[in-house]
Amino acid sequence: MRVGLIVPRHRQSAVARNRLKRRLRELTRLRLLPSGLPFDVVLRARPETYAAAFDQLGTEIDRVLTQLERWASATASPDFPPPATPSSS
């Protein structure tokens, strides 16, 4: 799994943006990456994210993880063909 972060300014200082990025990276490291799901994820911070506590951010990351697990189980069902793998030439 690869995770990208988009943390726009939203009239915040560089200190606030860097703090938010560090929090999101830590939550990603602790919760998303160990799941081993076959997805690339991009997290985009909304303006209200700057005021959120670490626990609130963790709750939202858990919600995202739950949705990703649902999608992974849906794509693993026999109704869906296996994902295409890039061929190396």
Amino acid residing at 58: G
What domains can you pick out in the chain, each with its CATH number?
2-75 (3.30.230.10)
**DSSP secondary structure string, 26-51?**
HHIIIIIGGG--S-EEEEE--GGGGG
Phi, psi of 37 (to 5 degrees): -70, 150
3-state secondary structure of 87: coil
The 10 Å Cβ neighbour count of residue 43 is 19
Rounded CA-CA distance 56/52 in Å is: 6
Q: Walk along the chain (89 residues) and give the pLDDT tens digit of each residue.
A: 888 999 999 899 999 999 999 999 999 999 988 988 888 889 999 999 999 999 999 999 999 999 989 988 887 766 656 666 666 55
